[in-house]
Chain A
Amino acid sequence: MSGDTDLLSGTLDLLILQTIALEPMHGWAVAQRIQVISRDLLKVQQGSLYPALHRLENQGWIQSEWGASDNKRRAKYYSLTRAGKKQLAKETLKWQRLSSGVNLVLGQRVLARS
């Protein structure tokens, strides 16, 4: 993650799982997709993307396969495993709880000021 959008640890895993859940993808596409969908708010840096991918694979949440990409070049495609789907659901719930909690606290501050 870069600059002022430093992500909480574990959030990158969640983003990767969610992105791969849509369709099998190679690393570069994952980074692009996250950047595009987040309207450039989130920029995944290679320095954290690949270690995260390998870690997720090592944990059995995603699996990889070499395949031909759009212009017939080889690329390593990652896809979600069944355990990965469960993990994604779990992580999503966790994130929603965390973010709504933080929002509530911040909202209160705004209310208290006004």
Chain B
Amino acid sequence: MRMWNVFKTRIRSLLLRKRAEMELDEELRVHIEREIERKVKSGSSTEDARCEAEREFGGLERLKEECRDARGWQLLDALMQDARYGLRVLLRAPAFLFAVVLMLGIGIGANTAIFSVLNAVLIRPLPYPASDALVGVFNRFVIQGQVFEDAALSPGMYAACKDSASAFESFGVWTSGAATMTGMGDP
């Protein structure tokens, strides 16, 4: 219930800024009038009463500002002002604006490009059937205390592995290498 009331007040002060502003004016005016009446009743002249009542109010504009602050209009006001100011400053320095836009553009573009590569290579599943069941087996052996990692596989060993590796559904080999293409046609 309280939240609803707060919400209502805020929305109203946002949407009906003009009206809220007028209401604030009127509220304060009513107060001054009352105060003048009271002073007149207790014997001052109308002029004196008006002067005194207005003086008691202190700075009317400052008071209004404080009331607006209390209602939380200020935040949006300040935000809008900052946005407008920022825009104006940028438009006043077009070269800077251009540089900034270019830098941001290149930055975002580079990020997107790198991410699309990483996404294809590392994150997305491999383009094979049942790719989550795919495992790598590497050849590693020790001769007289020296360890050989990722050693090459002889055709005989491949045949032996393929026959005896019953833990796997099937077994294949791959090798990596580089090639230079010089033209079209069969090698």
Contacts and interface: CB of A to CB of B under 8 A. Distances in A.
A33 interface: no
B116 interface: no
Nearest to B23: A76
Interface stretch (B56-64, B79-87, B99-107): B56-64
A50 B27 contact: yes
A51 B58 CA distance: 13
Interface string A59-83: 1110100100000011110000111
Interface residues of A, number: 26
Contacts of A76: 23, 26-27, 30
18 contacts: A27-B27, A27-B30, A27-B31, A28-B30, A45-B58, A46-B63, A47-B63, A50-B27, A50-B31, A50-B63, A54-B71, A55-B70, A55-B71, A58-B9, A60-B5, A74-B30, A75-B27, A75-B30
A47 to B, nearest CB: 5
Interface of A: 26-28, 32, 45-47, 50-52, 54-55, 57-61, 63, 66, 73-76, 81-83
B2 interface: yes
A81 B9 CA distance: 13
B6 interface: yes
Interface residues of B, number: 26
Given A46-B28, A60-B2, A76-B27, 18 more contacts: A26-B27, A27-B30, A28-B35, A46-B58, A50-B28, A50-B31, A50-B67, A51-B67, A51-B69, A55-B71, A57-B71, A58-B9, A58-B72, A61-B2, A73-B30, A81-B5, A82-B2, A83-B1
A61 B6 CA distance: 9
Contacts of A27: 27, 30-31
Nearest to B58: A47
B65 to A, nearest CB: 9
A28 B31 contact: yes
A46 B31 CA distance: 9
A26 B30 CA distance: 9
A28 B38 CA distance: 11
Interface string B1-28: 1110110011000000000000100111
B48 interface: no
A60 B9 contact: yes
- Most chain-A CB neighbours within 10 Å: which of B3, B5, B28, B71? B5
Contact of B2 (A51, A75, A81): A81
B34 interface: yes
